[in-house]
Amino acid sequence: MKTWKKRTKAVHTGTRRSQYNEVSEAIYMTQGFVYDSAEDAEARFIKAGEDEFIYARYGNPTVAMFEDRIAALEGAEDGFATASGMAAVNGALMSMLRAGDHVVSARALFGSCLYILEEILTRYGVEVTFVDGTDLAAWQAAIRPETKVVFFESISNPTLEVIDIVAVSKLAHAVDATVVIDNVFATPVYSDAIAQGADVVIYSATKHIDGQGRALGGVILGTREFIRGTVEPYMKHTGGSMSPFTAWVMLKGLETIDLRVRAQTESAQYLAEALEADGRLAEVIYPGLASHPQSALTKVQMEAGGTVLAIDAGSQAAAFKVLNALEIWTISNNLGDAKSIVTHPATTTHQRLSDDTKAVLGITPGLLRLSVGLEDADDLLSDLRAAMAQI
């Protein structure tokens, strides 16, 4: 099994069959489990075995199948599935940090990640230093002997900066800091983050793992010691676990993730090249374009540019005109979905930020984030071109 390629692992790893030998994974829709005797109950609370469960907040067979499958896909020893991507980010950080600890984080983050680091952790006495994630000298200057955690999104949302996992991990490991990566935009398909130096990898499963806009979910991946010794006690007592039904949806999502993400990435590359050549847009940002500042790093780190691109329509008024003229692209704020989705970050996902912060992060008034779905790429391009004609 260790030698299986990702596509094989995504279909088979983790499967636990019941006595009925079902083909599709069973949904064990139960919160609890029956013990054969009082002694059995006592023994399980002292130490539950590999396939012994106590309470769905602690673990469940369908959830365990999902955890094993995504861990195998990522090349991690173990994983803990969570109720949402944010439960995963919060759980990974809160379970290992305490008052007095120091964290260094990239500044360009998903809005809710920024809220945890800036507002919540600091409330509990954790000091957080923010840096420009693409600037290695800035990481080096900010990381101190007492730095406990280094946190970043390997591709930032929504401006698609690519951060050098190997280089930042080296700086972090020199002071024994734990490298925690929110890897949503890289996707499990293009990720090799653990081999590249990450200690902990987090996914919002809501995005490409489900990939069809149905359920919220997340997962924290790392060593068995970290997942079972640090994360699990925090998660099982604070209640952010994934539901068995969601785990089943995510297992089905993993079976097709490789095909979907590769097809969506191919379309994203095609659209980025066509829109750049079109010349009417102030900016086209896509890690797979030669014009992207980290295009060489992108090739080495993740092979392709991913499923999301960003364009600058020039002004908020122009961006809104484009949004309102689109017929196939839907205005929403999910990404990684089968449906192509367009978002105006400045007035939605990143509305909370001050104008100064938006400017520092490159979230201009005209910026649109395009999550490319599974539709025909030429239809998507025609729709964008017709909408751009409104500007």
Sites of contact with ligand PLP (CB under 6 A): 84-86, 89, 110, 112-113, 153, 157, 182, 184, 204, 206-207, 216, 218
Map tokens 């101190």 to a residue.
144
Q: Looking at beta carbons only, is 81 or 184 nearer to ligand PLP?
A: 184
Q: Looking at beta carbons only, is 112 or 223 nearer to ligand PLP?
A: 112
Instruction: Note whether 334 and 207 are within 8 A (CB).
Output: yes
Helical segments of the chain, H only: 6-12, 38-46, 61-74, 85-96, 111-115, 121-123, 136-142, 165-173, 187-190, 193-196, 224-226, 232-238, 244-278, 295-302, 316-325, 355-361, 377-388
Which of 98, 258, 283 lies closest to 187 in space, CA to CA? 258
Size (the chain), residues = 391
> Whole-number minimum distance, CB 280 to ligand PLP, in Å?
28
> Whole-number minimum distance, CB 85 to ligand PLP, in Å?
2
* Three-state secondary-structure class, residue 291: coil
> Whole-number minimum distance, CB 350 to ligand PLP, in Å?
12
Q: Looking at beta carbons only, is 90 or 267 nearer to ligand PLP?
A: 90
> Whole-number minimum distance, CB 379 to ligand PLP, in Å?
25
> Whole-number minimum distance, CB 8 to ligand PLP, in Å?
27
CB neighbours of residue 223 within 10 Å: 15
Q: Looking at beta carbons only, is 58 or 115 nearer to ligand PLP?
A: 115
Q: Looking at beta carbons only, is 89 or 309 nearer to ligand PLP?
A: 89
Full 3-state SS string of 28-52: CCCCECCCCCHHHHHHHHHCCCCCC
DSSP annotation string for 145-192: TTEEEEEEESB-TTT--B--HHHHHHHHHTTT-EEEEE-TTTHHHH--
Q: Looking at beta carbons only, is 168 or 318 nearer to ligand PLP?
A: 168
- Report the residue number whose CB is nearest to ligand PLP: 85
> Whole-number minimum distance, CB 20 to ligand PLP, in Å?
32
Rounded Cα distance, 378 and 165, in Å: 34
> Whole-number minimum distance, CB 76 to ligand PLP, in Å?
18
Q: Looking at beta carbons only, is 10 or 205 nearer to ligand PLP?
A: 205
Read off the tokens for 262: 């590769």
* Three-state secondary-structure class, residue 127: strand
Helical segments of 19-135, H only: 38-46, 61-74, 85-96, 111-115, 121-123
Q: Looking at beta carbons only, is 216 or 386 nearer to ligand PLP?
A: 216
Q: Looking at beta carbons only, is 85 or 305 nearer to ligand PLP?
A: 85
CB neighbours of residue 29 within 10 Å: 12
Backbone angles phi, psi at 311, to 5 degrees: -130, 155
> Whole-number minimum distance, CB 12 to ligand PLP, in Å?
25
Rounded Cα distance, 370 and 340, in Å: 7
Please name the residues in contact with 327: beta carbons below 8 A apart, sequence gap of 6 or more: 383, 386
> Whole-number minimum distance, CB 82 to ligand PLP, in Å?
9
Q: Looking at beta carbons only, is 155 or 281 nearer to ligand PLP?
A: 155
> Whole-number minimum distance, CB 325 to ligand PLP, in Å?
26
